[in-house]
């Protein structure tokens, strides 16, 4: 047993002598506390093995206390008595820790995320990162992915359910499943634990985006045409363009004038702004071109079609949704609802191939090469369809005006 000489007080009060580069306080058994001029203190252990003197670091004081340092010293002495090389043991332990860290759920998840995120839109990238970092990493992130058991994963998901976020719980579990499957593919684990939890979560019925019925579209479009009675002109045009082009709301809000070719009557949405990361072409009907011409003076010198108060940024994602609320369509219609209504009416018309409709809805191939090739697929048919659709939307508004006018005259 080594004879100890240091005390807690001596360790705490020890300083390096003025002008010296290092002060060493001996505690016995080869244990030293090294004190530097900057006040930093480190534990070091000297020992001899096979006639050679060696030095091993035992940690930083006071994070490693005097008692802990002595315990580490005694452990090294036991290794020496057993004929082991402490330095070699520490290297093995470090490699094991590094391997475990590289094999942790968080490490595998971040590797998977890095490989996948380049193909996602920015909003989805943020959602996935937030779901992992906020809900999963704190609980099982440091655990080796091949040692995690289903009850551990379920406990993490249960915490989300306890907040009443049942839809989020299902989405987070789905992300975890993708990570586990990536781990299987890269040889880090053997099972997808998310499959073991099938049926264990609180059921959640997916809520579809609100959309009016096709027969209610005339009233909605007439209300939008008269929106300036309660709102602003720019938002009215935004709603009309959304109806005529039935693109996703964020695709319209983020639109830039450089994407619009009025002469060719085409709007080319770059791949980085599309959900499927594939460039998308939107043929522009005459009514749509006229709306864009009306919009241009309102957007001024901004590069965006729909600039916000700060013209370097766009209007909010909620601008059109709140406008629909103001028109009395809260809970009945959303920006995404225009896509559903257009799809229903176009399919029921029997005038266009489902493939043409799906292509214009940008429900395209996930394969990047095929998607790039297909960006202009059915373009001639899509031009005819978009003209028919604009005429249809324009026609129901005009018919509604006539009906309203006639009733007004009768009254």
* Active-site annotation, residues: 248, 275, 336, 339, 363, 373
Torsion over CA of 129, 134, 139 and 140, rounded to 10 degrees? 0
144: DSSP letter: B
**Which tokens belong to 335?**
């920006």
Q: Which uninterrupted H or E stretch holds 339? A: helix 337-349
Coarse DSSP helix, strand, coil percentages of the chain, rounded to the nearest 5 percent: 55, 10, 35
The Cα–Cα gap between 186 and 189 comes to 8
- Contact call for residues 30 and 17 (beta carbons, < 8 A): no
The Cα–Cα gap between 112 and 68 comes to 39
Distance of CA 400 to the CA centre of its chain: 43
The Cα–Cα gap between 334 and 340 comes to 10
The Cα–Cα gap between 63 and 178 comes to 39
- Contact call for residues 382 and 359 (beta carbons, < 8 A): yes
The Cα–Cα gap between 338 and 277 comes to 21
The Cα–Cα gap between 189 and 208 comes to 36
Q: Using alpha carbons, select from 256, 252, 259 the residue that is nearest to residue 335.
A: 252
Residue 38 contacts by C-beta under 8 Å, 6 or more apart in sequence? none
Residue 142 contacts by C-beta under 8 Å, 6 or more apart in sequence? 104, 105, 106
Q: Using alpha carbons, select from 138, 204, 215, 212 the residue that is nearest to residue 171.
A: 204
Angle made by CA atoms 188, 127, 248, in degrees to the nearest 5 = 125
The Cα–Cα gap between 150 and 297 comes to 59
Q: Using alpha carbons, select from 196, 175, 197, 178 the residue that is nearest to residue 186.
A: 178
């Amino acid at each position: 047993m080594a004879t100890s000489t240091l005390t807690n007080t001596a360790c705490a009060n020890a300083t390096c002598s003025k002008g010296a580069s290092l002060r060493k306080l001996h505690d016995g058994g080869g244990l030293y506390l090294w004190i530097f001029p900057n006040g930093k203190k480190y534990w070091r252990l000297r020992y001899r093995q096979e006639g050679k003197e060696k030095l091993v670091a035992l940690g930083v004081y006071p994070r490693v206390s005097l008692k802990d340092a002595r315990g580490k010293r005694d452990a090294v002495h036991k290794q020496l008595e057993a004929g082991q090389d402490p330095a070699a043991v520490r290297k093995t332990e470090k490699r094991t820790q590094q391997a475990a860290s590289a094999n942790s759920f968080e490490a595998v998840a971040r590797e998977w995320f890095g490989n996948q995120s380049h193909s996602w839109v920015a909003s989805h990238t943020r959602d996935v990162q937030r779901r992992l970092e906020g809900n999963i990493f704190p609980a099982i992130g440091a655990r080796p992915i091949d040692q995690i058991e289903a009850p551990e994963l379920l406990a993490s998901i249960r915490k989300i359910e306890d907040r009443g976020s049942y839809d989020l719980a299902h989405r987070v579990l789905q992300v975890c499943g993708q990570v586990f499957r990536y781990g299987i593919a890269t040889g880090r684990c053997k099972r997808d634990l998310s499959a073991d939890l099938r049926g264990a979560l609180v059921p959640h019925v997916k809520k579809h985006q609100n959309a009016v019925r096709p027969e209610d579209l005339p009233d909605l479009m007439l209300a939008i045409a008269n929106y300036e009675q309660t709102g602003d002109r720019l938002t009215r045009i935004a709603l009309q363009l959304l109806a005529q082009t039935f693109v996703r709301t964020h695709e319209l809000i983020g639109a830039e004038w450089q994407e619009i070719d009025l002469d060719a009557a085409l709007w080319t949405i770059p791949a980085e702004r599309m959900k499927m990361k594939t460039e998308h072409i939107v043929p522009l009907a005459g009514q749509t071109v006229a709306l864009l011409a009306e919009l241009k003076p309102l957007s001024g010198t901004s590069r965006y079609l729909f600039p916000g108060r700060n013209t370097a940024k766009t209007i909010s994602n909620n601008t059109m949704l709140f406008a629909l609320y103001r028109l009395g369509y809260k809970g009945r219609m959303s920006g995404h609802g225009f896509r559903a209504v257009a799809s229903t009416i176009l399919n029921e018309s029997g005038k266009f191939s489902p493939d043409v409709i799906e292509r214009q809805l940008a429900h395209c191939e996930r394969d990047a090469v095929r998607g790039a090739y297909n960006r202009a697929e059915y373009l001639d048919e899509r031009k005819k369809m978009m003209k028919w659709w604009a005429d249809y939307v324009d026609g129901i508004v005009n018919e509604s005006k006539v009906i309203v006018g006639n009733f007004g005259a009768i009254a």
